[in-house]
Structure 1
């Protein structure tokens, strides 16, 4: 970390993290202001707000982890703090994956025109289903994982008080690994399932938009209006977002398998790539959402006039 490359990587990580906090913070503020005015949020805005909260907190914990690791001595208290932050990071990371999956499925069902019975059944129900499923999935995951985590911390506390395990302590009660290690199988399967669903929904959405754009060009409508160009822009943004999401998933697997130890330069590069997706995707969401884009444009234009 003290090398020139390490310092540059830390600066880049800080810049990407700030971009993530600003982009997702903007979405949270705009949608919460809209909720305070109208006392309700449409399902799309609710999903965007939840996803942005997850990403904002996720990046806060990632920054805190880096700061404490670099600035604090690696004593017993520091290790416990880092374990707690790592556990919180894991929860919000999986919440981010879940929110991304539900948002992609929501857009896929809303935009695509497939005549498959599943899509026809989901279209009129997706507004009610997705927010409920998001809340239920997070609650189910927390309830399912809280027992092993509480057990670990109780065992860890008893070991820290005695400084040594007694001879008659069973092997199952010994604190092996961190809570992150205990929940790693759950996180791996959870992330793989959500990644598969999100990847499938994204591909279906891209294929549907591409077919619709091709039909517009064949009918000659594409030469008379801007719909074809608009569809091409959406397809490019979706492919760009999908590319960063794949990188995000790969770096998440790297962090779960501990191939790169935390604190190494290579691990910091992996963390930078991991933080790129929440940052880039928030910018794409702002630019493709009419309400968010309108607010952002007004803010930028007012700043230009004032300067």
Structure 2
């Protein structure tokens, strides 16, 4: 049985995950409509893939958390752990790959550099995404043998207990997410270059325009918020996964496990709403949907009164 504090936190984690699924489902729906009405674009592909992967990540985190809380004997089975580990690596790495690709896409579309390397990258944006896709496959090829090695070591033991030393656990965790670390570094470099681009743009604007704010500056600031939130939430995501894993395997603390669930779900849930608010098309679409819901509620109220 859960305590009052654990029950409240679990309700908070569940409601947050439901909102995250709805937010990503809205992004998926809006981009599918755009793809049908207009020509298929790289941005549409990235948003669609990102939404699908994040829905899968949220479902895996919450379902695995519920199993750890209410059916720990199922989690202790080798079959469950192997399936969850492989599905988790595929969906989580792919989700972060789409997030990094979106950051890079924003950078190449918005940043303002006069260097020939930047123009070369901008012209070959499709080649860059193919290169990042190759990096995703490399990250899987590093993670899959590591998962197999961990399970081979654990099968020698009688049950799924935390036998690994603290340092060994951290090393295994880093190796599992080695490809993700590369994508994280790409996001940091992209954010740093965008800051430089914004600084240069503001210096030029101060020379020519001093009374009103440039539209390009506002776009820079919006993208900066998306990139910085991606980096911060991704760090919290892996901290939450680490807390959840340690609390289940070593400390057997349900309150800490639920707290880890909440922190881990913040990245796929919150960042999607940040994307909706930052993207003008998605923002208009969600405002339009909310207006339609209000109109339907008013129509129902009128029918009830009559």
Please give the range of the TM-score, normalised by the shorter of the 2 chains. Answer: 0.7 to 0.9
| Change in 2 beyond 3 A, CA 1:43/1:230 | closer
Query: Does 81-90 or 231-240 show the bigger shift?
Result: 231-240
Q: 1:205 corresponds to which residue?
A: 194
Q: 2:270 corresponds to which residue?
A: 280
Instruction: State the shift of 1:122 in Å.
Output: 0.3
Unaligned runs of 5+ in 1: 164-175
| Change in 2 beyond 3 A, CA 1:252/1:130 | farther
Q: 2:28 corresponds to which residue?
A: 28
| Change in 2 beyond 3 A, CA 1:100/1:232 | closer
Instruction: State the shift of 1:235 in Å.
Output: 4.0
| Correspondent of 1:187 among 176, 179, 183 | 176
Q: 2:12 corresponds to which residue?
A: 12
Instruction: State the shift of 1:50 in Å.
Output: 1.4
Instruction: State the shift of 1:203 in Å.
Output: 2.3
Q: 1:170 corresponds to which residue?
A: none
Instruction: State the shift of 1:59 in Å.
Output: 0.9
| Change in 2 beyond 3 A, CA 1:98/1:67 | same
Task: Report the secondary structure of 2:135's partner residue.
Answer: helix
Q: 2:295 corresponds to which residue?
A: 305
Alignment of 1:74-153 (within 5 A): 74=73, 78=77, 80-126=79-125, 128-143=126-141, 145-146=143-144
Instruction: State the shift of 1:55 in Å.
Output: 1.1
TM-score by length of 1: 0.76
Unaligned runs of 5+ in 2: 298-306
Q: Please, what is the CA RMSD of the aligned residues?
A: 3.7
Aligned mates of 1:248, 1:294 — CA distance in 2: 29
Aligned mates of 1:295, 1:265 — CA distance in 2: 38
**Are 2:244 and 2:256, in contact at CA under 8 Å, matched by a contact in 1?**
no
**Are 1:241 and 1:280, in contact at CA under 8 Å, matched by a contact in 2?**
no
Aligned mates of 2:203, 2:234 — CA distance in 1: 26
Query: Does 258-267 or 293-302 show the bigger shift?
Result: 258-267
**Are 1:247 and 1:274, in contact at CA under 8 Å, matched by a contact in 2?**
yes
TM-score by length of 2: 0.76
**Are 1:195 and 1:249, in contact at CA under 8 Å, matched by a contact in 2?**
no
Aligned mates of 1:9, 1:268 — CA distance in 2: 7
Task: Report the secondary structure of 2:234's partner residue.
Answer: helix
**Are 2:57 and 2:92, in contact at CA under 8 Å, matched by a contact in 1?**
yes
Instruction: State the shift of 1:291 in Å.
Output: 2.5
